[in-house]
Amino acid sequence: MTVRMSEMTWMEFDKKIKDGAITILPIGACEQHGPHLPLNVDTVIAEGFAERLAGRVGAVVAPTINYGYRSKPLSGGGPLFPGTVDLSGETLIHLVFDILEELIKDGAKNIIVLSCHFENEAFVCEAVDLVSQKYGNKAKMLIANWWDPMPVEIIDQVFTEVPFPGWAFEHAAVTETSLMMAMAPELVHEDRMVDTQGVTPCPYNIYPVPADAVPETGVLAPARSSSAARGQLIIDSVLIELEKMCSKEFK
Amino acid sequence: MTVRMSEMTWMEFDKKIKDGAITILPIGACEQHGPHLPLNVDTVIAEGFAERLAGRVGAVVAPTINYGYRSKPLSGGGPLFPGTVDLSGETLIHLVFDILEELIKDGAKNIIVLSCHFENEAFVCEAVDLVSQKYGNKAKMLIANWWDPMPVEIIDQVFTEVPFPGWAFEHAAVTETSLMMAMAPELVHEDRMVDTQGVTPCPYNIYPVPADAVPETGVLAPARSSSAARGQLIIDSVLIELEKMCSKEFK
Amino acid sequence: MTVRMSEMTWMEFDKKIKDGAITILPIGACEQHGPHLPLNVDTVIAEGFAERLAGRVGAVVAPTINYGYRSKPLSGGGPLFPGTVDLSGETLIHLVFDILEELIKDGAKNIIVLSCHFENEAFVCEAVDLVSQKYGNKAKMLIANWWDPMPVEIIDQVFTEVPFPGWAFEHAAVTETSLMMAMAPELVHEDRMVDTQGVTPCPYNIYPVPADAVPETGVLAPARSSSAARGQLIIDSVLIELEKMCSKEFK
Amino acid sequence: MTVRMSEMTWMEFDKKIKDGAITILPIGACEQHGPHLPLNVDTVIAEGFAERLAGRVGAVVAPTINYGYRSKPLSGGGPLFPGTVDLSGETLIHLVFDILEELIKDGAKNIIVLSCHFENEAFVCEAVDLVSQKYGNKAKMLIANWWDPMPVEIIDQVFTEVPFPGWAFEHAAVTETSLMMAMAPELVHEDRMVDTQGVTPCPYNIYPVPADAVPETGVLAPARSSSAARGQLIIDSVLIELEKMCSKEFK
Amino acid sequence: MTVRMSEMTWMEFDKKIKDGAITILPIGACEQHGPHLPLNVDTVIAEGFAERLAGRVGAVVAPTINYGYRSKPLSGGGPLFPGTVDLSGETLIHLVFDILEELIKDGAKNIIVLSCHFENEAFVCEAVDLVSQKYGNKAKMLIANWWDPMPVEIIDQVFTEVPFPGWAFEHAAVTETSLMMAMAPELVHEDRMVDTQGVTPCPYNIYPVPADAVPETGVLAPARSSSAARGQLIIDSVLIELEKMCSKEFK
Amino acid sequence: MTVRMSEMTWMEFDKKIKDGAITILPIGACEQHGPHLPLNVDTVIAEGFAERLAGRVGAVVAPTINYGYRSKPLSGGGPLFPGTVDLSGETLIHLVFDILEELIKDGAKNIIVLSCHFENEAFVCEAVDLVSQKYGNKAKMLIANWWDPMPVEIIDQVFTEVPFPGWAFEHAAVTETSLMMAMAPELVHEDRMVDTQGVTPCPYNIYPVPADAVPETGVLAPARSSSAARGQLIIDSVLIELEKMCSKEFK
């Protein structure tokens, strides 16, 4: 049977929840990812991990939130790229709050919010905190992504040809490109991959966002050496960690 | 090339917008649709019409909003069904507002908000009104669905075996079931279709929502006689009207 | 004794509520109604029905909300007419929420929100939903108007000379004009009634609102054939239904 | 012709505004006023002054806001009295904001917000401040009441039998009772006037509001010696000052 | 040991609260106070009273809120003076709400909000009201300042050389200057004291705020005759009253 | 002359701004910092850096925001420690927004928001983003802290005795303790420093926050080896970087 809540009837979903299934809420973004990747990279990856994890732990995947918090220049290219369509902080807080509240009212006791857009985190946490204040121990909620649980040794294995630039700059670069090649190869334009010079880190934020803060392609670090195999390596290693998380927290 | 913005690179999207393409924002819901239809009926139908229309008029389809405003008992079964996951009015207003604002900042001048969940309308209009107050003539925005443009004679052709119960009660009934059979037949469980006795209309709203306001299946009118052919009939006739709307309003 | 809460002392109101009286909250609007009707049509009618109903069922009528949600072109003429003074969606939600919350804290258990402005409905429902989520079974709340409970056969009796254009277009037309002639004849300028050509229905909403969406008089359908007798017919038939509603829901 | 906007057609209102008429927005409250006065005292007085002033200066009186900000114990008896139905601060701010914004969009350049409920002031000012930040010099707005412009010598003439207790305590006491006797004598129950011992002033606010903060009648100072003549004296003297205000500020 | 919560470790604070200590939250402002006083007058005075009172009653002083509600022309000079940095009403409400809520969650049962900026009061009360609605009898909260508890006879003793202009106009004048001379003499520029002509009271509020509403120095009443001795007289008399308040309300 | 805006008269502040001075807004927190440090560590450090930087670049330091965003377990110990008094995300956004807006209205063109509480960042950025959307190029705003600009080689010099645990865990540990010993030694209780075992990093967030997420002292990493000299080393190196930032961005 499908793991997608959206494709279940209400009775199928009801049974899953009554049987104690974990609910996973994927959150992506609509954000530029350079000339070789589509705008929905964060969404595809969030759904990809959510469905794979759900398959392993018997979870239900709620409909995806397709838009995320404002892209920042040094982690996503920023708001000036056409195609980057961002939510404000308050909107994202309320959106996540409402969905979690409704899931809890429907009986969900174990929830994972799986956000694969770097900038979402603080606002997702705020939403979950507010839900938690309202519902106390009625539900346990985890907020996860794919990069924090990824073991350090996998970073070494993935970055054999180009240096690891840090997670913030891993935007449209080796890890995201490889994940897309493994999860949705038909959306990757390998021929359009450009060798970016990388961006200069800046230890402070500047507003208004300077037009020249990032390379004009929107790629923050080289994607060279990306491959479906590397993507699969990441997927496999992260799923093991996410499964461990489920075992430990939702016993 | 794809009509889906989510699958375009930012450069592809940028070119489409600079070429004057219409942008369509589909809005669905996560809402019970009886024992024979999945929770994402309104979303599938919104995307289905959006992509078909986009193909005809060269439009771009923005990522879908997968959650909608609170289901009401006498148009969607109401909040008491597990699996119905609703947004509050203010959240939906802000969500639509933010997305439209960002699209306009990216250069979109012609926008259609295509909502296929009955209860969304007032809040979507409020959002569009607020965007319009802020951006004036920078963008023209239409709010459409599939039932209002559907010609009256098509209703007669679709409802030959069961009587037309009015649009509000057409929930998980002939039109939605037929549309799903035409658009996503793999998600329809014909064998689980129940012959509902229909609901008694009530000329006022009651809160707290009574548990017995609707049949316990969540089906508000019979789906009997639904077919992919009837679905296609609706699709074809509505697309003609939506195309006319585009020609007339976005010249 | 008066049914108007505003004219009671606090002790009189307290006694009524302790005796189990229903509380009715009328909501109107400040909205253009053509050259022959005043801006307060929706308010006069809301108060008129509220007070008549209160007289029959021993209810208390709370002070009226004199402003309503944004007038839409094809149901009220829209925002461009001078004299149309509208509230935003969020303001109306909070306004109704606060008043209902206070009435419940004062002991009201049975409440009718009687809104006679077409566009208010979704936002009033949202407010009542939120109050209901907070107060649960402490109060039962109904949301009513005068057109939904009106029996179909009365429509036939009222529209003998002009065709019934549908409820949305019945703005400043036969029903509202007749009701005003019955309830507040001194505010009706029969000599200024114009024979409008009616508006073309539009199966979608357009923003910015086009200046020529409606006839420049603001009348959406002909008021010809309006009379106090027809108004009284509507009043009598609707009151019977509203009384039935009270008997059924507030036993 | 009427001064009431609510009773004008939109064309009549439009002409008044185009001719430069001042618009007056009365704000009252639904608040206990002891055993001898109705809940709408502040509303009746706000409308009473608004209409009289409008008659003198050719102004238009917008529909009244019938609910006000939270009653405080030592100026209105507080929230614990049944019948006192209060708005929160944010609701009142948004309500006044929306109405003023719409009036300005309709062409109003000179506006008086006439609030006759003590507790409204800070929130009305906040609303007007926000409107003023948005619309700059497009409109001049005054916020007035009846007690601040009242000349000191009139206080002496009114309080010949009981001492003037200060404006905050003048709740359901000599001035309000006299004004009601002059403006709406049918709503005054002279036979129920009680001789309160007055309340002890408290130089700080206490929350939760203590149940015994005020006399259980809700009367904060004696109403003894109230009369329609004293009410008329107040009316006449205040109107002179309000007219002066108009001449000075709206030249 | 210090009375300042900010300088305590969490364990020290915890012990104080468990021992039943009162918590005082000082609120000041960043507001012009003429050429002879700094922008932080209201903050210095709020902290000064808070710490002195805490020393006497064993209270803890929470970190100060350094910004207050919008300065009004006739009580603080208004928004047009550079250096006056104001919060909106809603921001102040939420700010005070959050802090009080957290203090209550940390165990605080007896709280004084000590605001020494005239314009804060209504918004602070609103915040405390909302907290009180949420937490009921879990905490008793008082809202105090220094001018309301000050005995009338002290006014006479302080104003021997210049007349008392009323509290609103006592801005950067004798009482505030004297208090600063007693509490933070190094911040007072006696040589820059100007003899203002005083402002003309205005019995209504005007928006947009007229540029000439107040003397261009920002001083609303003469500071002449200010002295540290007078400041100390105020301090001593007010502290006695605030101590009485604590004894009476927090037994 | 002082760099503190709070201690300037409005005329002194006005002159500084007209002369083009940078304005620095320090933001701290009221948050547990173990048994040896006070609750105001983040505030003291924010003010300490702000005033030192202001001295070097001729800037003005605005009054400090003494409360910050919710403490998270793995960067600040979390909400369960008494004495940790947090603001919600929306409150902090609005608070920073209002202050920046007012500073810009007062003429500030170059602003640094200096936040020294880890959890503040996303919400401060949101506020600055919103201000920037409203005021465009009227002001340039930087958001900085002290840890991001600190050169890597200084980390090596500071962590000679204990390993660098990463910035998030540097809470009440070597860097903060050393900074406090350099900036406010009288608030440091060296004798109470405990040798924590450190916390286990967790690659996801858990709600409700588990009571045992962090050591019960609240210290996330050892403070052993802290010294005023190390604190001064950090101060000196960071100030050089912040000065460079000013030269580069505010030319």
Q: Of the candidates B112, B110, B114, which has an alpha carbon nearest to the alpha carbon of residue B138?
A: B110
Which residues have C-beta within 8 Å of that of residue C19, sequence separation ≥ 6? Answer: none
B67 with A63: Cβ contact below 8 A = yes
pLDDT 10s digits, E16-71: 999 999 999 999 999 999 999 999 999 999 999 999 999 999 999 999 999 999 99
Share of chain E above pLDDT 90, in %: 89
Q: What is the pLDDT of residues A70-83, one digit of tens each?
A: 999 988 889 999 99
Neighbours of A195 (CB within 10 A): 11
Catalytic residue flag (residue C212)? no
- The CA distance from D231 to E200, in Å, is 28
Instruction: Give the residue on A whose Cα is nearest the Cα of B87.
Output: A98
Phi and psi at A124, nearest 5°, equal -65, -45
d(Cα D247, Cα E3) in Å, to the nearest integer?
Answer: 55
Examine the pLDDT at D200 and tell me if it is beyond 90.
no
| Interatomic CA distance for residues D24 and D58, integer angstroms | 11
**What does the DSSP assignment read for D79-118?**
TTSTT-BEE-HHHHHHHHHHHHHHHHHTT--EEEEEE-SG
Place of tokens 């919103």: F130
The answer to whether B10 contacts A17, with C-beta atoms less than 8 Å apart, is no
3-state class (DSSP) for residue E112: strand
Residue F243 near residue F222, CB atoms below 8 Å: no
- The set of residues, in sequence order, having a beta carbon less than 8 Å from that of A26 and lying 6+ positions away, is A43, A46, A47, A49, A50, A61, A62, A64, A65, A114, A115, A116
Q: Which two tokens stand for residue C145?
A: 């108007």
Amino acid E244: pLDDT: 98
Contact A92, A107 (CB under 8 A): no
pLDDT averaged over every residue in chain E: 96
- pLDDT given for residue B150 in this prediction: 97
Closest chain C C-alpha to B216 CA, distance in angstroms: 21
- Asked if the Cβ–Cβ distance from B207 to C140 is below 8 Å, we say yes
Q: E25 - beta bridge partners? A: E113
| D242, pLDDT greater than 80 | yes
Listed in sequence order, the DSSP H helices in chain E are 10-18, 41-57, 73-76, 89-105, 121-135, 152-158, 174-183, 228-249
Q: Report how far residue C86's alpha carbon sits from residue C63's, in angstroms, rounded to the nearest whole number.
A: 18
Q: Tell me how close the Cα of C153 comes to any Cα of chain D, in angstroms.
A: 32
Residues of F in contact with E105 (CB under 8 A): 79
Share of chain F above pLDDT 70, in %: 100
Catalytic hit among D47, D106, D176, D249: D176
For residue D89, what pLDDT is reported?
98
All residues of chain D having their beta carbon less than 8 Å from the beta carbon of residue E121 are 122
- DSSP secondary structure letters along F22-58: -EEEEE--B--BTTTB-TTHHHHHHHHHHHHHHHHHT
Mean pLDDT value across residues D90-109: 98
Q: Does D41 touch chain C (CB under 8 A)?
A: no
Task: Say whether residue D40 is in contact with chain C using an 8 A CB cutoff.
Answer: yes
CA distance E251 to chain D (A): 14
In whole angstroms, give the CA distance from residue C213 to residue C22. Answer: 41
* Closest residue to B39, CB basis, from A13, A85, A91: A13
Does residue C212 register a pLDDT over 90? no
**Residue A225: which region, alpha, beta or left (left: phi > 0; alpha: psi -120 to 50)?**
left
pLDDT under 70: residue ranges of chain B = none
Is residue F117 among the annotated active site residues?
A: yes
Q: Which of D36, D86, D117, D170 is catalytic?
A: D117
Task: Please give the average per-residue pLDDT across D27-47, as a whole number.
Answer: 98
pLDDT score at F195: 83
- Cβ atoms F217, F34 nearer than 8 A: yes
Strands C60-61 and C140-144 come out as unpaired
Task: Tell me E77's DSSP state.
Answer: -
Q: What is the DSSP letter of D26?
A: E
F205: enclosing H helix or E strand: strand F205-207
Residue A198 has pLDDT above 80, yes or no: no
Residue in chain D nearest E140 by alpha carbon: D207
Which of B9, B97, B116 has the most A C-beta neighbours within 10 Å, making it the best mutation to test the interface with A? Answer: B9
pLDDT band at C162 (very low <50, low <70, confident <90, very high): very high
- Residues C178, C183, C189, C191: is their CA dihedral positive or negative? positive
Flag whether pLDDT at D195 surpasses 90.
Answer: no
Contact: F85, E103; criterion CB under 8 Å:
yes
Scan residues 210-249 of D and list those with Cβ closer than 8 Å to C.
218
Is residue C249 among the annotated active site residues? no
Let me know if F94 is a catalytic residue. Answer: no
Q: Is C242 helix (H, G, I), strand (E, B) or coil?
A: helix
How far does D125 lie from chain E, in Å, by closest CA?
Answer: 8
**DSSP output for E158-215:** H-SSS----TTT-SSSHHHHHHHHHH-GGG--GGG----------SSEEESPPTTSS-
Q: Which of B157-161, D37-41, D103-107, E71-75 has the lowest mean pLDDT?
A: E71-75
Band of pLDDT at residue C82, cut at 50, 70 and 90: very high
Residue E197 has pLDDT above 80, yes or no: no
Strand order in the sheet with F60-61: A205-207, F140-144, F110-115, F23-27, F60-61
What distance in Å separates the CA atoms of residue E113 and residue C177, rounded to the nearest whole number? Answer: 56
**F137-182 confidence digits (pLDDT tens):** 999 999 999 999 999 999 999 999 999 988 888 999 999 999 999 9
- What the block records as the tokens of F160 is 């000679």
Q: What is the pLDDT of residues E83-122, one digit of tens each?
A: 999 999 999 999 999 999 999 999 999 999 999 999 999 9
Mutate to test the interface with A, among F74, F97, F133, F207 (most CBs of A within 10 A): F207
| Cross-chain residue pair C125–B204, CB shorter than 8 Å | no
Question: pLDDT digit string (tens) for E141-194?
Answer: 999 999 999 999 999 999 999 999 888 889 999 999 999 999 999 999 999 998
* F205 beta partners: A143
- Give the residue from A75, A128, A141, A204 with the most F CB atoms within 10 Å of its CB, the best one to mutate: A204
Could you say which of E36, E42, E51, E86 is catalytic?
Answer: E42
Asked if E180 reaches chain F (Cβ–Cβ under 8 Å), the answer is no
pLDDT attached to residue E201: 87
Query: For residue C36, is pLDDT > 90?
Result: yes
Interface contact flag, A129 F249, Cβ < 8 Å = no
CB contact under 8 A, F125 and A72: yes
| pLDDT tops 90 at residue C120 | yes
Cβ atoms of A89 and F126 within 8 Å: the answer is yes
On whether the CB atoms of residues A7 and B38 are closer than 8 A, the answer is yes
In terms of Cα–Cα distance, which of F24, F40, F7, F64 is closest to F183? F40
Is A119's pLDDT higher than 90?
A: yes
For A122-158, the pLDDT digits (tens) are 999 999 999 999 999 999 999 999 999 999 999 999 9
Rg (CA), chain E: 18
What does the buried/exposed string (b/e) look like for F158-193 if buried means 16 or more CB atoms within 10 Å of the residue's CB? bbeebebbeebbbbbbbbbbbbbbbbbeebbeeeeb
CA distance B191 to B35: 9
Name the strand (E) or helix (H) holding B110. strand B110-115
Please give the model's pTM, rounded to 2 decimal places: 0.98
Q: Work out the number of other CB atoms within 10 angstroms of the CB of residue C96.
A: 26
Q: What is the per-residue pLDDT for B213?
A: 85
**In angstroms, what separates the C-alpha of C155 from chain D's closest C-alpha?**
27
Residue A213 has pLDDT above 90, yes or no: no
- Confidence at residue D106, expressed as pLDDT on a 0 to 100 scale: 97
Which residues of chain E neighbour D137 with C-beta distances below 8 Å? 208
- Residues facing residue E140 across a β-bridge: E110
For F218, nearest residue in chain E (alpha carbons): E10
**pLDDT value at residue E195:** 82
Q: Which residue on chain C is closest to B205 by alpha carbon?
A: C143
CA C78 to CA B129: how far, in whole Å? Answer: 11
Backbone angles phi, psi at A68, to 5 degrees: -125, -175
Min Cα separation C206/chain B (Å): 5
Structure tokens at F202: 């967790």
* Facing residue for F102 by CB, picked from E17, E86, E107: E86
- Cβ distance C43 to D107 less than 8 Å, yes or no, reads no
F43-100 pLDDT, tens digit each: 999 999 999 999 999 999 999 999 999 999 988 889 999 999 999 999 999 999 999 9
Cα C57 → chain centroid: 19
- Between strands D68-69 and D60-61, the pairing is unpaired
Alpha-carbon distance of F186 to F40, in angstroms, equals: 13
| Tokens at C150, concatenated | 């009106």
Is the CB of F10 inside 8 Å of chain A's CB atoms?
A: no
Q: Is the dihedral of CA D77, D78, D82, D86 positive or negative?
A: positive
Judging contacts by C-beta atoms under 8 Å, the chain C residues touching residue B209 are 132
Q: Which pLDDT score is estimated for F197?
A: 74
Distance CA A186, CA A28 (A): 19
Please give the domain boundaries of chain A with CATH numbers for all domains: 5-249 (3.40.50.10310)
Contacts of C17 in chain D (CB under 8 A): 82
Residue at E74: amino acid letter: L
A82 → closest Cβ in B6, B13, B64:
B13
CA–CA–CA angle B203, B206, B209 (5° rounding) = 130
Rounded Cα–Cα distance for residues A129 and F72 (Å):
10
Task: Give E200's pLDDT tier (boundaries 50, 70, 90).
Answer: confident
Indicate if the pLDDT at residue C198 is higher than 80. no
Q: How far is CA E205 from CA D68, D125, E33, E223, in A?
A: 18, 8, 21, 25
Residue D251: the pLDDT is 83
* Per-residue pLDDT reduced to its tens digit, E207-245: 999 988 888 899 989 999 999 999 999 999 999 999 999
> 63-82 in A: which are within 8 Å (CB) of F?
70, 72
Q: With pLDDT > 90 as the criterion, what percentage of chain F qualifies?
A: 89
In the prediction, which pLDDT does F175 show? 97
Strands A68-69 and A86-87 turn out to be: parallel
Active-site residue identified among C47, C86, C117, C170: C117
Per-residue pLDDT band at D209 (split at 50, 70, 90):
very high
What b/e readout covers A151-179, taking b as 16+ CB neighbours within 10 angstroms? eeebbeebbeebeebeebbbbbbbbbbbb
Q: CB contact, 8 Å: E6 with chain D?
A: no
Residues from chain D contacting residue C97 (CB–CB below 8 Å): 91
Residue D235 has pLDDT above 80, yes or no: yes
CB-based touch D/A (3+ pairs, under 8 A): no
Q: Which of A72-76, D131-135, D193-197, E118-122 bottoms out in mean pLDDT, i.e. has the lowest?
A: D193-197
Is A84 in CB contact (< 8 Å) with chain B? Answer: yes
Position C200 pLDDT exceeds 90: no
Chain B residue closest in CA terms to C149: B203
Q: Would you state the pLDDT for residue B61?
A: 98
